[in-house]
Chains A and B, each alone.
Chain A
Amino acid sequence: MSHAATHDEHHDHGPEAGIMRWIKTTNHKDLGTLYLWFSMIMFFIGGLMSLVIRAELFEPGLQFVQPEFFNQMTTMHALVMIFGGVMPAFVGLANWMIPMMVGCSDLALPRVNNWGFWILPFAFGLLLSTLFMDGGAPAAGWTMYPPLVLQTGDAFPFLIFAIHLMGISSITGAINVIVTILNMRAPQMTLLKMPLFVWSWLITAYLLLAVMPVLAGAVTMLLTDKYFGTSFFTAAGGGDPVMFQHIFWFFGHPEVYILILPAFGIVSTIIPTFARKRLFGYDSMVYAMASIAFLSFIVWAHHMFTVGMPLAAELFFMFATMLIAVPTGVKVFNWIATMWRGSMTFETPMLFALGFVFLFTIGGFSGLMLAIAPVDFQYHDSYFVVAHFHYVLVPGAVFSIIAAIYYWIPKWTGHMYNERLGQIHFWLSAIFINVTFFPQHFAGLAGMPRRIPDYATQFTDWNVISSVGAFVYFVVQFVWAYNMIVNCIMKKGEPATSRVWEGAHGLEWTVPSPAPYHTFEEPPVLDESEVQGAHADEHQHEVQGKPA
């Protein structure tokens, strides 16, 4: 960042030169960049693993890998994508944007922020190193159900310790976000004036704080069961393997919302910008996210309807799960109402946000289908489930990350991406994500189980289509990488203005592009025109009502 060299002399703590800048940095923008690069590397590694899976499933029979290695790929793909890809990407976006959005100079605990990031490469170094061990990587699925997971070889303690490290990183990040938002907002930035992205992260951070210790506890018990003679989940010693499933999903379902709530915040930020209207129903968006977060704690057993629960429990978890459709419906309605009669334009971030609304909703509908307990007995552990959660996570969470990067990278680098390449990237991604995952609904409904390297021949056609889609989708992402690296990072694109997008509102758009290394060393004065919340409308009406 050459601009930093010309920065105010009073702020002489600019970036260090060389590699030490990145190792020692406590700057939220540097750490945001590190998180985003890390997540992109993990997306690439996890993507390669998915291609191994799809290559093997291109036709029936065993072509490329042995079943043991196939199971390692499905397990590692999930762990890498969830904990290495999506979560760090959202933390990266939070690092970059939350201080600028609430008007403070950095996150509340900058050194903790540095520590939280630098734990991650070690965590994933441990996890990925298991691929080269005797017995290979963990292969019992990302859910790590005992007793199967206890058969893992040398990789087992590496898996557990890697998850502990990821948990520490997540908790430190969550604490940093909460403290920043509660303690360091600019004057006049009341809670209900905060951008929706900040709200979504505040709620996500509380979820992280509540459930990461549960995951840490569960995997620690697995560790003691395997190495220290305890029997938490070992039936032979009086333990209960199903208890692990309850504990895991008590973590796992809120985790699903950890992966999607920041996406809601991003989409709620982008759609008003390109519809050139205030967000419809700001307050209801906040309450909807809080409701979704609350409900996420009381629906966990819908992941395990088939273990044999009392009927009353099945009914409770079924209806509680269906309740989530209400606040989610509120959100989708509000996004559509925001666009209604707006002056819409369809730049790349808006396209990805719209793709999110359409395709995430498909994932939501298949989720409703899976919530119906008697029906779930048919779908459970089938490819229908794989189709469902990939719709939620890829055109859901991943599209929102892509949209956010297109939206904010001109602010980060000071240069615009190439719009034509962005449009090509969106349309090819949108087409081939559906080519990849839509056929999996049909394969699943026809009875194809998940986590198998071979299948009956009647599933061949859908699998061929799905594999072709996956390979093309993977290749298409290089168009994005080229666009970002050449035009924005290498600064070949057009220079960006401060506002970047005509319809954008928020404190982050009041600073130059690229954003200076230090922003808001002094508290900014919040102009109400920059406020996203409903209270801005009230203010506007008050102003408009006054005589000129």
Chain B
Amino acid sequence: MSEQPGKVSPHDPQVARRNVRLALLLGGVALAFFVAFFVAMA
């Protein structure tokens, strides 16, 4: 996360890489919630 990223197009490769990394992290967190919750209940 940057306070002033300065690049605003998702088609810019540098921006795209940064976006995908953060998206995978967030998606991983959501998936971890689901799995951890299920395992805890089981």
Could you list which residues of chain A lie within 8 angstroms of chain B, going by C-beta atoms?
Answer: 103-110, 112, 171, 174-176, 178-179, 182-191, 209-210, 212-214, 216-217, 220-221, 232, 247, 520-523
Bound-state Cα–Cα, A189 to B10, Å: 17
**Which range contains the number of B residues in contact with the other chain?**
20 to 34
Bound-state Cα–Cα, A291 to B13, Å: 36
Given contacts A178-B26, A220-B38, 14 further A-B contacts (CB under 8 A): A109-B23, A175-B23, A175-B30, A176-B23, A183-B18, A185-B8, A186-B8, A188-B4, A190-B4, A209-B30, A213-B33, A214-B33, A214-B37, A523-B8
Question: Chain A nearest CB: distance from B30 CB in Å?
Answer: 5
Asked whether A179 lies within 8 Å of B23 as measured between CB atoms, the reply is: yes
Question: Chain B nearest CB: distance from A106 CB in Å?
Answer: 5
Least CB separation from B31: chain A residue:
A213
Asked whether A191 lies within 8 Å of B23 as measured between CB atoms, the reply is: no
A184-B15, A191-B3, A213-B31 are contacts. A175–B10 as well, Cβ < 8 Å? no
A105-B10, A213-B37, A521-B9 are contacts. A183–B4 as well, Cβ < 8 Å? no
Q: What are 23 A-B interface contacts by the 8 Å CB criterion?
A: A104-B8, A105-B8, A107-B10, A109-B20, A175-B27, A178-B22, A179-B19, A182-B1, A182-B22, A183-B2, A183-B19, A184-B19, A187-B4, A187-B6, A190-B4, A191-B3, A209-B30, A210-B33, A213-B34, A213-B37, A214-B33, A221-B38, A522-B8
Bound-state Cα–Cα, A191 to B3, Å: 7
How many contacts between A and B, using CB within 8 angstroms?
Answer: 94
Could you list which residues of chain B lie within 8 angstroms of chain A, going by C-beta atoms?
Answer: 1-11, 15, 18-20, 22-23, 26-27, 29-31, 33-34, 37-38, 41
Question: Chain B nearest CB: distance from A484 CB in Å?
Answer: 30
Please, which residues of chain A bring their CB within 8 A of the CB of B6? 186-187, 523
Question: Chain A nearest CB: distance from B21 CB in Å?
Answer: 9
Question: Chain A nearest CB: distance from B7 CB in Å?
Answer: 7
A108-B23, A178-B26, A212-B30 are contacts. A183–B1 as well, Cβ < 8 Å? yes
Question: Chain A nearest CB: distance from B27 CB in Å?
Answer: 6
Asked whether B5 lies within 8 Å of A183 as measured between CB atoms, the reply is: yes
Question: Chain B nearest CB: distance from A62 CB in Å?
Answer: 40
Question: Chain B nearest CB: distance from A344 CB in Å?
Answer: 35
Please, which residues of chain A bring their CB within 8 A of the CB of B2? 183
Least CB separation from B1: chain A residue:
A182
Please, which residues of chain A bring their CB within 8 A of the CB of B15? 108, 183-184
